[in-house]
Amino acid sequence: MRWIGLLAILGSLISCGAQQSTAEPTILPTAVTTAMPQTWRLSYVQQPLTTAHLIISGIAGLRTIDVGVNGPACFSQGRLIYTTKLSSTNRLLATDVNTRQTETLVDDPAVVLSQATCHPSSDQVLYLRSPLELIDDEPAPPSIWQTTLNQRQPQSLDAAQTPALNQQWSPDGKWLIYELADRPNLVLQAATGETRELTFTGTFTWQPDSQALIIAQLTEPAAGRFGRLVRYDLATEQIQVVLESADADVYYPRLAPDGQQLAYIRRLLGVEVGDLWLLNLNNPQPPRQLTDDPRYDNFDPQWSPDSQQLLWSRLDPQQARYSIWQQSITAPTASQFADDAIWPRWLP
């Protein structure tokens, strides 16, 4: 199942020996000088396979927020929300980016916590809770839990603790989509609690107006099992094909805030690494390939607030080393933003 692969990736990124540091935050030496606009801040994880420092990069330079961080951070009401996995603790934490004060929202040593997900307008926080025990020699399935910045008692998203993962709020906060872990379906959940199960799965991205999703999926076996990107309209429940890819898998779709540009990863069949591509939805021109270095596997693209720049993570499989890269959509080539780093996120 896909969730088992996800847990394996998370496990490989958790430091075996990371310990909570009591020293003053330090600037790590592996950051790369960039031309990133100074009005925006970024968070990312430096040295993910060892100390796993959570870093903020902005006009004041680089700041270390915490260590032992095992996933991307999200931002809510002036606080950076993230999960940590240290030798004896598994926590969901909130750090005020101005005062640098940190609060523990959840402390649960019996599980691994990951995928912190902030509601776009309220103080609700979702996260993934993965039990440590094995079932039939496989990891127990994860489930989605919720709490608030006011430290309301954590509870499962639903009473049945449905195995699920990869939760994502719509931009207006009225819908939640997530992937079921026990069958290849997606679930849409309204703010009222009403749910709608979609009979397909894949990575996804919200349209900025929250009226539709772009979903990466495989066609049915009768159609030849090729990759494609489709638009799912929430009101009509109809699907429209955005892009078909007969010779490659397509995944990690990411719509720009302007709703006109779609970044995605394309991996040729039989090839182990994927490249970043860009499609202008309002332009009949073919998609544009942004990366083409066969040494790197590219993933998790993230748009800048003005829809003009992309950040993404990159893995060198031979060296088992991650890095973060950036590119303006008008630039001919990409450049490295940070070495030995992963999970970039734009902050307000």
Across the range 59-66, mean pLDDT stands at: 91
Residue 14 lies in a domain: yes
pLDDT at 223: 58
Instruction: Quote the distance between the C-alpha of residue 50 and its chain's center.
Output: 20
pLDDT digits (tens, 9 = 90+) for 113-125: 999 999 999 999 9
* Segments forming the whole domain that contains residue 3: 1-20+67-166
Residue 156 lies in a domain: yes
Residue 34 has pLDDT above 70, yes or no: no
Q: Name the pLDDT band for 221 (thresholds 50, 70, 90).
A: low
Q: Report d(CA 44, CA 69) in Å as an integer.
A: 10
* DSSP per-residue string spanning 313-340: EEEETTTTEEEEEEEETTSSS-EEEEES
Q: How far is CA 292 from CA 169, 191, 277, in A?
A: 32, 42, 10
Share of the chain above pLDDT 90, in %: 74
* Element of type H or E holding 46: strand 41-46
Residue 127 lies in a domain: yes
pLDDT at 73: 99
* DSSP per-residue string spanning 145-178: EEEETT-PPPEESSTT--BEEEEEE-TTSSEEEE
Residue 216 lies in a domain: no
- Identify which has the larger pLDDT, 38 or 133: 133
> Is-contact 292 316, C-beta < 8 A?
no
Residue 215 lies in a domain: no
The chain-wide mean pLDDT, for the chain, equals 89
Please name which of 345, 286, 268 lies closest in space to residue 310, comparing C-alpha atoms.
345
Task: Give the total number of structural domains in the chain.
Answer: 1
In 59-193 the beta strands, taken as DSSP E runs, fall at 61-66, 74-76, 79-85, 90-96, 102-107, 111-118, 124-131, 134-135, 138-139, 143-148, 155-156, 164-169, 175-180, 186-190
Name residue 333's amino acid: T
Across the range 194-221, mean pLDDT stands at: 91
Residue 119 lies in a domain: yes
CATH number at residue 131: 2.120.10.30
pLDDT at 88: 82
Instruction: Quote the distance between the C-alpha of residue 207 and its chain's center.
Output: 16
- Identify which has the larger pLDDT, 40 or 163: 163
